[in-house]
Homo-oligomer: A and B are copies of this chain.
Amino acid sequence: MDIPNIELDRIVDNALAEDLGWGDITTDAFVPPQIKGKGSFLIKAKGVLAGIEVSQRVFHRVDRSLVLKILIPDGNHIDKGMVVGTIDGPLNSILKAERTALNFLQRMSGIATATSQLVEAVSGLPVKIMDTRKTVPGLRMLDKYAVHLGGGKNHRFHLGDGILVKDNHWEALKVSGETLAQAIQRVKARASIFLRVEVEVKNMAEALEAVAAGAEILLLDNMTPEQMRQVVQKVKGKVLTEASGNVNLQNVRVVAESGVDFISSGALTHSVKSLDISLEVGMG
């Protein structure tokens, strides 16, 4: 898994602190520590699996003695009835970690599944589905990892690893009396050598001005597919283009056919439908 230990540990601890807190009063009274249990992650809906590694970590944080197995790794297409991982050990510990583990797994798989549906909807076209920064506060890394597992591409992780000139940035130049070209020049000088400049535009005029000013990617904001097609024709080969604004399963192919290189969707992470996965628990 690509996410570093220190980050995963922090996220898992944070989650357990809020759900397990000072202990599980019911389980401690009902399940003596010597009773062995067995848990199986059972898939109950078609989709893409994401979060099985994080979920297993939750169990280990609660009890090091639990034996964890991943039968199907993150990123695979899954379907109803499949068992993707198992846990063996004290039943007590399995029950304490269950909800937190599922909360990660169901959300991440929900994101990966929605991403893969958009990806499939544009299959055959040379376009990439992308996420945004509209993630749940505190879980950006996992939200974006789930998009990646679903076949999507990640946009900026935070405000420092990409240069994106939005309408408000552009308008602020009127006050400072600077041209877009001058401002882009300055941000390029200031930023690391790795970072490209993307500029948000709302129409052809802005698109052409942005390209002339040094933009390397255009963010086509809330344009019609036809408007996008016209901009793409003009700028193809010079800059990359990203379509943005209320994309969904119904309209994504039409948007893609405009020829844009990327289509980004905030809904992938801000309006997640969690995937139905359960932990089937039995006596070990």
Contacts and interface: CB of A to CB of B under 8 A. Distances in A.
Contact of A23 (B27, B159, B162): B159
Interface stretch (A81-89, A132-140, A224-232): A132-140
B190 A148 contact: yes
A240 B7 CA distance: 34
Contacts of A24: 159-160
Interface residues of A, number: 102
B22 A160 contact: yes
Q: How many copies does the complex hold?
A: 6
A74 interface: no
A106 interface: yes
Interface string A183-199: 10011011111111010
Interface stretch (A163-171, A204-212, A249-257): A163-171
A150 to B, nearest CB: 13
A133 B15 CA distance: 12
A94 to B, nearest CB: 8
A195 B141 CA distance: 17
Interface in A20-39: 20-32, 35, 37
